[in-house]
Amino acid sequence: MVSLRIKRVYDPPSQSDGLRVLVDRLWPRGLKKEDAKIDLWMKNIAPSPDLRRWFAHDPSRWEEFAKRYEEEIVNTPEFRELRKICSNQDVTLLFASRNREMNNAVVLRALLSMNRK
């Protein structure tokens, strides 16, 4: 069975990561591309700039952010592509946020997990 993980892009890569997919629109600050060990950068699956600015990592907006983000991406070609990729190989979704519990990769993992069943 294939696995779907999330990990902060600044954490060291491991062999169990499988395909490493960056799911942020902006390149992570202070990280050199050659050090990142990113296999695929899916900029367009990230939250829109307006949604990202509105959320501003405010915990009180988390549930509404997750709902709006799902509405933004669930019917996009990028989401379908990522779902297909995740169906046949181990994937680690990489994010830059300091908050490990409230970020777009958490929402993506939940949506992709629902679509695997």
Confidence category of residue 35, pLDDT binned at 50, 70, 90:
confident
Q: Which two tokens stand for residue 8?
A: 């902060």
Q: Are 104 and 33 in contact (CB under 8 A)?
A: no
Total structural domains within the chain:
1
| Contacts of 61 by beta carbon, 8 Å cutoff, 6+ apart | 54, 55
Report whether pLDDT(117) > 70: no
Q: Which domain holds residue 110?
A: 4-114
Q: Are 49 and 25 in contact (CB under 8 A)?
A: yes
Q: Which two tokens stand for residue 60?
A: 């009180």
Q: Model pTM greater than 0.85?
A: yes
**What is 53-67 written as a DSSP string?**
HHHTT-GGGHHHHHH
3-state SS, residue 88: coil
| 51-90 pLDDT tens trace | 999 999 999 999 999 999 999 999 999 999 999 999 999 9
